[in-house]
Amino acid sequence: MNNLTGLIEKYFVPMAGKLSKNKFLKAISNGFSVLLPITMIGAIFTLLSNLQIAPYQSFVKAVHLKEIFGFAPKVTTDMLAVYAVFLIGKALAEQYDFDDNVSTIVGALSLFSFLVLIPLGVSGKAEKSQEIVSIAGAMPTTYLGAAGLFTAMIVGLLVPFIYQIFINHNIVLKMPEQVPPTIAKSFSALIPAFSIAFFFGLIRFLFSLTPFGDANSFVYTMLKAPLANLGASPATFILFILVCSLMWFFGLHGGMIVMPFINVLYTAAGLENLEAYANGVAGPNLITNSSWIVFASLGGAGGTLGLCILMAFMAKSSRYKTLGKLALPAGACGINEPITFGLPMVLNTIMIIPLIITPIITFLISYFMIKIGIIPPLNGTTIPLGTPVVFPDAVSLPVYIHIQTDTAPCISFRIRMNQIY
Amino acid sequence: MIHITLICAAGMSTSMLTQRMQKAAESKNLEVEIIAMPESKFRKYKGETEVLLLGPQVRYLFEEIKAEFQPKGMKVAVIDMRDYGMMNGEKVLEDACKLLG
């Protein structure tokens, strides 16, 4: 056992360290975490506008609240890529240790580059006649939301990367020494900025020559669709759970390492479900970014809520009883370090089995219940880490049925029954 | 006044520990200020820190953080797993004070 631990500390820990320090992954994580208020506005306003309770609906319609609630999702959920590209660009610039104002400039340049890639002009049927009308100056919103999120991530990572090359190789406009440094600094952005502008202009032009027509259609077909298929498979999600649990078995923060990948693969799925919910239809995606917290991480990584309850009320050993009571309130908010390090789960060969299979089982049960239609798909609300366990379920699923909240802890409880007494 | 900063991934579980450490400090009449924050925030944190403690779940950052902050006069250490899990504020505080000698 000591040999094994030694090997892990020697190879596995540095590898996890490298992964978690990767600038691109960190930028994705940090970008998405500051995006949260915007996604929450979209989600909560969608809920407020669409809550299917008849008296409530007639009330919000009568006092025009529905119009107020209804508009916010159109410029948040449906345009999330616009916010994302700015924030991811800024987040990566921060990873390169640029000054705050330079990071903001890089964020703005990322937004610019993203917008450049969208061809102007909208055409559609006129309202009354069957005539097709085109408006040349209008910007289509097709790729501003979920469909453009991948392009937003790519652009948001590419722009700071290019910018950084210029700065690190000192390819900037040099001012004579008499010019005050503050002024010289603001000019130093010019060469990288113009180069980035030209580069993305060129990309826009080159894509217009291809059958795809524009960069977003290309990314959508070549990347978004295959990745969405990959993400839609429960096996992919189970793999993430497995990696996360294994990391925690070695005492490393698995969630922090897996989360950027979850964001990349599943944010668009969540947005699509939210859009569907706003239109009053069931969401198309069975797995979204919130599936992680709602289904696969009840009480924290490893789904330890059942274990907390079990220990707090039924453990024979007084140490476990104390630990269970200590861990229960935090566990209800999805934080389980007390259990992971206190039980401990870390390097505990008895607990590794439930640590891995509990979240997989709770996830699979929910997945199949959604699949056969007992519970509706998650409506796409992004659940921040630390949200108490009943709350995500209440906002994520239409308020009526909720078997999941009741079953999952019981199951995780049953699995542990055989382990602890 | 001793300033102790605890860092972990999101600053959530460490914030539970700070409360317990603070209580332990009060009962011993020690003048300490203990705060918790995510690892990413600490680099931009301007406040004072004499002892920097890492949650065991981010111990892979230890070498890097030690190399960066030890030269600035901070004592850097990883919190013991068991003490962290049991939220043993008294013991963690004791260990932190030992670091200062």
Q: Rounded to a whole number, what is the largest CA-CA distance in chain A?
A: 79
Write the DSSP symbol of residue A79.
Answer: G
Query: Residue B78 is inside which H or E element, if any?
Result: strand B75-78
> In chain B, helix, strand, coil percent, each to 5?
50, 20, 25
**Gap between the Cα atoms of A217 and A207, Å rounded:** 9
CATH of the domain at B82: 3.40.50.2300
β-pairing verdict for A122-125 and B2-8: unpaired
Q: How many domains does chain B have?
A: 1
Q: How far is it, in rounded angstroms, from Cα A64 to Cα B29?
A: 59
Nearest to A35 by CA among A2, A65, A70, A79: A79
B8 classed as catalytic: yes
In a 3-state reduction of DSSP, which class is residue A154? helix
Going along A246-380, which residue ranges are E strands? none
pLDDT, one tens digit per residue, over B36-87 is 988 878 877 888 888 999 998 888 888 888 998 989 889 999 998 888 888 8
Count of A–B CB contacts within 8 Å? 77
User: With an 8 Å Cβ cutoff, are B85 and A335 in contact?
Assistant: no
Q: Do A21 and B85 touch (CB under 8 A)?
A: no
The Cα B20–Cα B69 span in angstroms is: 25
Name the helix (H) or strand (E) containing B38: strand B32-38
Per-position b or e across A125-157, b if 16+ CB within 10 A of its CB: eeeeeeeeeeeeeeebbebbbbbbbbbbbbbbb
Range of the domain at B36: 2-99
Q: Which of A110, A108, A119 is nearest to A154 (CA)?
A: A110
- Are A408 and A291 contacting, i.e. CB atoms less than 8 angstroms apart? no
Torsions phi, psi for A132 (to 5 deg):
-85, 125
Q: H or E element: which one contains A255?
A: helix A254-278
Tell me whether residues B56 and A251 touch, CB distance under 8 A.
Answer: yes
Distance from CA of B21 to the nearest CA of A (A): 15
Q: Which residue of B has its CA nearest to A335?
A: B13
Q: Is the dihedral of CA A187, A192, A193, A197 positive or negative?
A: positive
Going from the first residue of chain A to its last (421 residues), give the mean pLDDT of each consecutive group of 10, the final group possibly shorter.
69 75 87 87 83 81 85 89 96 90 93 93 76 82 89 96 92 79 77 94 92 88 86 92 87 82 89 85 86 81 80 80 85 82 79 83 83 80 70 48 44 50 42
Q: Do B57 and A252 touch (CB under 8 A)?
A: yes
CA pair distance A308, A377, nearest whole angstrom: 28
Supply the angle between the helices A254-278 and A225-232 in degrees, to the nearest 10.
Answer: 110
Question: Are A347 and A400 spatial neighbours (Cβ–Cβ below 8 Å)?
Answer: no
Element (H, E) at B5: strand B2-8
How far does A308 lie from chain B, in Å, by closest CA? 13
The pLDDT value given to residue A407: 46
Let me know the angle formed at the C-alpha of A174 by A169 and A179, rounded to the nearest 5 degrees: 145
Query: A361: which DSSP letter?
Result: H
Burial profile A85-95: b = 16 or more Cβ within 10 angstroms, e = fewer: bbbbbbbbbbb
Give this prediction's pTM: 0.80
Q: What is the pLDDT of residue A393?
A: 56
- Distance separating alpha carbons of residues A221 and A208, to the nearest angstrom: 15
User: Cα(A248)–Cα(A250) distance, rounded to whole angstroms?
Assistant: 5
CA-to-CA distance for A404 and B40, rounded, in angstroms? Answer: 35
ipTM score of the complex?
0.71
Question: By CA distance, what is A259's nearest residue in B?
Answer: B9
Type and span of the H or E element at B8:
strand B2-8
Contacts of A14 in chain B (CB under 8 A): 60
Q: Which residue of B has its CA nearest to A19?
A: B60
B87: chain A residues, CB-CB within 8 Å? 326, 338, 342
DSSP β-bridge partners for residue A124: A133
Under 8 Å between Cβ of A218 and A207 = yes
Phi and psi (nearest 5°) for A221? -75, -45
Q: Which of B4, B6, B7, B8 is catalytic?
A: B8
The pLDDT score that the predictor gives to residue A420 is 46
Peptide bond into A344 cis (omega under 30): yes
**For strand A132-135 and strand B32-38, is the pairing parallel, antiparallel, or unpaired?**
unpaired
